[in-house]
Homo-oligomer: A and B are copies of this chain.
């Protein structure tokens, strides 16, 4: 956890403990048993498992900067050499280049430089028939040796994790989750920063297609794979009646703003009910007509809760890049039957006074509380991912 070093000792301790819980949960969920997890000088060690398969699980956990499947041996020089040669033998290809990088923490009869020279020359000697050579600047393979106290860890692979902070360590947020490309990325980014994100789908059927709903469910299942908790749900609030009411508005160009504001209010009611401290939305400035600064201000005014918009400064191509990396793109880029009642020219400069007057006149707000009372949730299984 790169950022954990920014924290005070007590906060750091709490975050590490939470991450250890997540590691245990995730491994257990994947069928691992009888493993051992403990802290060791700023690292978290997991022992007694098949390293390669476990690394795939652990590199998905928020708070993890990198995972190194390592061999552990004693700090004895001969043991280290033997173990490093083993590791090198497995990964070095014919005529390949390599380097040894060592780090020594604690009191030992050798320096890290000593280790690098000794281990490097022994590997060179042992694998002479493969025609390998040392390249300190751009090696194809690196053999890492880390000596900490009585132990030495040898590894040749560094698998990047998502970084961020342990899931749920920063409190709760409600995400307005449509299942399009943007909202899952927005939810994921806040998850990565340690928020427990409650996914809320506002069910606009019959004004959207059946596939609109199934896409959201599929996207939620992908995100579920990042959540190291027993329970994780997709919350669903029926929004059809609100939309029907909005269709009564005599100014069709206001529809989208009325609809979005109502969604913000519904999400705020849900946040209240689930004790969340803010909303997450997938808006990006200027991406579409409804996302002008003017309209965003009109939308924001609908709720007293803070609205977090992690994509506000990103381009569509940047958002898509994250979506691909986290695995939501394939599901969310699907064409689905979107809202059938979008007006020809949704306003980019909604008049707040007019909007509020219309909300009053149509009695939209009365429907929202009832819709939230009938909220249902779909439990997403930890194993489904």
Contact = CB atoms under 8 A, between A and B. Distances in A.
Contact of A309 (B284, B285, B309): B309
Contact of A316 (B2, B189, B194): B2
Contacts of A2: 315-317
Contacts of A172: 293
A71 to B, nearest CB: 28
A376 interface: no
Given A171-B293, A308-B313, 5 more contacts: A170-B286, A189-B313, A194-B285, A277-B294, A278-B296
Given A195-B293, A293-B278, A315 B163 contact: yes
Nearest to A285: B193
Interface in A276-310: 277-278, 284-288, 292-294, 296-297, 300-301, 304-310
Q: How large is the interface on A (under 10, 10 to 19, 20 to 34, 35 or more residues)?
A: 35 or more
Nearest to A185: B313
Contacts of A163: 315, 317-318
B315 A170 contact: no
Contacts of A323: none
Copies in the complex: 2
A265 interface: no
Contacts of A171: 292-294
A316 B164 contact: no
A163 to B, nearest CB: 5
A144 to B, nearest CB: 20
Interface of A: 2-3, 6, 163-165, 169-173, 186, 189-190, 192-195, 277-278, 284-288, 292-294, 296-297, 300-301, 304-318
Contacts of A312: 189-190, 193, 308-310
A307 B310 contact: no
Contacts of A286: 3, 165, 169-170, 193-194
A187 B192 CA distance: 22
A164 B316 CA distance: 9
A333 to B, nearest CB: 14
B315 A164 contact: yes
Given A2-B316, A285-B194, A308 B309 contact: yes
